[in-house]
Amino acid sequence: MKITYYGHSCFTAAVNGKTLLFDPFISGNPLAGHIDKSKIKADYILISHGHEDHIADAAALAKESGATIISNFEIVTWLSRQGISKGHPMNHGGSWSFDFGKVKMMNAIHSSSFPDGSYAGNPCGFLIETLEGNFYYSGDTALTYDMKLIGEYKKINFALLPVGGNFTMNADNALIAAGFIGCDKIVGLHFDTFGYITINHAEAKEKFSRDGKELILLKIGESINI
């Protein structure tokens, strides 16, 4: 499965011939100025919560690519009022089989409102099951014991977790989360974008490797096969 990182918590997963784009925030990211948004072709856009650093480019990219939004009911409805007609609303604990695989909406400990301050439903993460492997994107979240349920529920090939701290878990807590999930390969997200979430890359990676796990911190624009 090919993962491409677009900065902050935005990435694509190319799976079963489809491109899944997560939490599009590129034009407002000072570190992602070299990313050409018009080159991102998504079949689906998955949105974890309503905060601007996760949703800013969703409407524009959905319009350009004709992608289907997968998010909670509130976010799908909010985007439909902006002319995004293709949306699949879900809520926590629910799952649905799409043409690329199965999505289960997971719990996240965070807050969620739209950039205008209105209610955006509850924040979530996504568990994605496909023929090319399973992965978990937690969204913005604290470390939570709920993650143990994921480890008991499914074998996860890799997980994408926030590591920047302050607004979410930091790398230390993401390492504990990796244990809860039962997954040794973690792609770090939600770091370095703002002063509050700047991290020491070498130190964070070293903590993971001492525990027999791997923390992958991609460069913005970089792709990996995982």
Q: Mutual orientation of helices 58-65 and 73-80 as an angle, nearest 10°?
A: 70
Member of 140, 175, 181, 205 binding Mn ion (CB under 5 A): 140
187 CB-contact burial (10 Å; exposed 0-12 / middle 13-18 / buried 19+): buried
When the beta carbons of 15 and 47 are compared against Mn ion, the nearer one is: 47
81 CB-contact burial (10 Å; exposed 0-12 / middle 13-18 / buried 19+): exposed
User: Residues 88-127: x/- map of binding to Ni ion (CB under 5 A)?
Assistant: ----------------------------------------
Q: Taking CB under 5 A as the rule, does residue 190 contact Ni ion?
A: no
> Footprint of Ni ion on residues 192-221 (CB under 5 A)?
none
Residue 171 beta carbon to Mn ion: minimum distance, rounded to whole angstroms: 16
Member of 35, 136, 140, 144 binding Ni ion (CB under 5 A): 140
Residue 117 beta carbon to Ni ion: minimum distance, rounded to whole angstroms: 14
Beta strand 44-46 with 18-22: parallel, antiparallel or unpaired?
parallel
> Footprint of Mn ion on residues 39-98 (CB under 5 A)?
53
User: Residues 2-41: x/- map of binding to Mn ion (CB under 5 A)?
Assistant: ----------------------------------------
- Three-state DSSP class for residue 153: helix
Residue whose C-alpha is closest to residue 54's, from 36, 37, 71: 71
Torsion angle (degrees, nearest 10) of CA 8, 81, 110, 167: 30
Beta strand residue intervals within 23-168, DSSP E = 44-46, 68-72, 87-90, 95-97, 102-107, 124-130, 133-137, 158-162
Residue 202 beta carbon to Ni ion: minimum distance, rounded to whole angstroms: 26
> Footprint of Ni ion on residues 30-59 (CB under 5 A)?
51
Cβ atoms of residues 38 and 53 within 8 Å: no
Of the listed pieces 55-63, 67-75, 136-144, 148-156, which binds Ni ion according to CB under 5 A? 136-144
Binding site for Mn ion (CB under 5 A): 53, 140
Binding site for Ni ion (CB under 5 A): 51, 140
